[in-house]
Structure 1
Amino acid sequence: MFQKDPSLAADYLNDVLATGDEVDLMLALRYLSTAFGGVQEIAHQAEANPNTMYRMLSERGNPSLKTLRAILSAMGLRLAVQPAWMNHS
């Protein structure tokens, strides 16, 4: 579902980001990675070590901005910024 329509993945991540919970974000990215071929495939596309990727997408994960952008790119997504008062729905 998410792979066929990345906008659904974007909506899902935006909803998670709205909570401000970093743990939820990492777990959401890990969940989405399964829809996009698995953590190993995302790691390959992001040019990252699969074991490192598993750790980054754990509850205690803390990927760099560069890695986060690579993960999102592998899912057909990108980072965007909008005013806080805007409703993303």
Structure 2
Amino acid sequence: DLSGRTDVATGVQFLGLWDCLAVPGQRRPLDPEPLSNVVAARPAVAIDGGRGIQLLGARADAVQEVWFRGAHCDVAGRRDGCQGL
């Protein structure tokens, strides 16, 4: 169980993220702390997802946004699955 652990002693050279969404029912901190153990992060964001550009925060120099064609459901799926296939 990792709940409540804050130890970030292990360094992370590269963190790649796909189109991330907030978890329903979970409040997002107003001023999130940057991950001090991450050297570089690369989020891929759906250009057609309609969510807009997010502010990068204090570590903007270590973050590069990369956009892919499509929407969140094209990568992460959706409730009704692959109806069109």
Q: Same fold by TM (over 0.5)?
A: no
Rg: which structure is higher?
2
Greater helix fraction, Structure 1 or Structure 2 = 1
TM-score (norm 1): 0.29
TM-score (norm 2): 0.30
